[in-house]
Amino acid sequence: MMGVFLLSKRSPITLDVKLDVVKRCLQDDSNPHYEAKQLGVDKATVKDWIRKYEAEGFEGLEDVKPLLKSALKLHSIPLQISWIIRKP
């Protein structure tokens, strides 16, 4: 995924880097302990990225607070419903 260079206030690690790390770990080309050491983060952080990626895909790696993420999903529901019940 080229061109995704978003930084969050909570993590100085880009989404591209997180995705690369997760993919290397899932493909057994590396392990969370090694990757964490290289990035200067806790190995639990890398394991969390892997868990989130497996559960939600790329979106799981974004640093969006859970409540905000839920609110964003709820906000889109009326838009989805309006498309379903749109009258010609």
- The reported pLDDT for the residue numbered 33 is 96
pLDDT tens-digit readout, 24-64: 999 999 999 999 999 999 999 999 999 999 998 988 888 76
pTM over 0.75: no
pLDDT reading at 65 higher than 50: yes
pLDDT at 4 over 80: no
Cβ-contact 62, 15 below 8 angstroms = yes
Confidence of residue 73 (pLDDT cuts 50, 70, 90): low
Q: Are 26 and 33 in contact (CB under 8 A)?
A: no
Per the CB < 8 A criterion, the answer to whether 73 and 59 are in contact is no
Task: Supply the pLDDT for residue 10.
Answer: 56
